[in-house]
Structure 1
């Protein structure tokens, strides 16, 4: 168990595990609700990139796929592109997808954060992204405004 700060977020989505998995791993879908395209073949050991959906080709996050068990579990490392080779600077994100009758419980755990500042950024980012994902899956469209742009307070 890591002694570094971590973050856990749980949301419930009227969907199926397959659709949630697709929303997390399909570059076009992630571009719709996240503003970034998650690009990889999603096999363990493969590289993945979080590439801006604005067409610039800029990757803001890179990492490796640690575990990939469609449609139940995805574990990736996360790092700034300049820290790709520095494993000590990588955090780890686990997506656990579990069906319960007609809904899915999606648990996102972001561990191995470097400090409280990084944890604070993660704690404000994940709820916005996952709210947008939930809206897309339940209504067919993301929220009308990017939720991460809502001012704090």
Structure 2
């Protein structure tokens, strides 16, 4: 269409839209669907990470035999020395266990059941530190005792924790208990001061 010396052109978008719908979108749609799926999974993972409580794992190496470590984990007199509590049970699968104070009160601060017992390498127990009913059940502690080049690698895994408060508590508690256990087995005596009574310093 002319207007004076100018020639005006008009673009009809309908055919271009039809081409996009008929040809291009067929190739583009899977890519967009994949991107959308990745976005949804990333958002779901981020939400899970912020709300769930992680599993706590602690590994230590002890100059002792697997039998000695197992005995230290299951003997009430020894646990009383390095833990300040006597862990009382016959350590048979299905049996109960109790974490009793040794201050004369015999108050039970934690208890549970023996899930697995494979001396001297594997012990799995439930760990309940309150009477509160938890929808996911009690937390679970696994002791894995592995001979490692003449020494023992002890791995403690504490999972199914109900909240971050308990996670923070055991994150401070387990290293202290296991440091005392290691000292007892390697030197014949516990540390000069109970690690859990020492003031924590921020580095």
TM-score where L is the length of structure 2: 0.71
Contact 2:63-2:185 within 8 A present in 1 as well = yes
Give unpaired runs (5+ residues) of structure 2.
1-51
**1:76 matched residue in structure 2:** 125
Post-superposition, which runs of at least 4 consecutive aligned residues in structure 1 deviate over 4 A? Answer: none
1:26-50 deviations in Å (ceiling 9; x for gaps): 0000000000000000000000000
Q: CA RMSD in A?
A: 1.4
**2:165 matched residue in structure 1:** 117
SS at match of 2:145: strand
CA 1:29 to 1:80, structure 2 compared with 1: closer, same or farther past 3 Å? same
TM-score where L is the length of structure 1: 0.93
Bigger helix fraction: 2
Give unpaired runs (5+ residues) of structure 1.
none
Instruction: Tell whether 2:61 aligns with 1:12.
Output: yes
Report the count of equivalent residues. 150
Please report how far the alpha carbon of residue 87 of structure 1 lies from its aligned counterpart in structure 2 after TM superposition.
7.1
Contact 2:53-2:167 within 8 A present in 1 as well = no
Q: Output the CA distance in 2 between the equivalents of 1:124 and 1:92.
A: 17
- Of 133, 138, 154 in structure 2, the residue corresponding to residue 106 of structure 1 is 154
Larger radius of gyration between Structure 1 and Structure 2: 2
1:53-99 deviations in Å (ceiling 9; x for gaps): 1121101000000000000000000002524x767341100000000
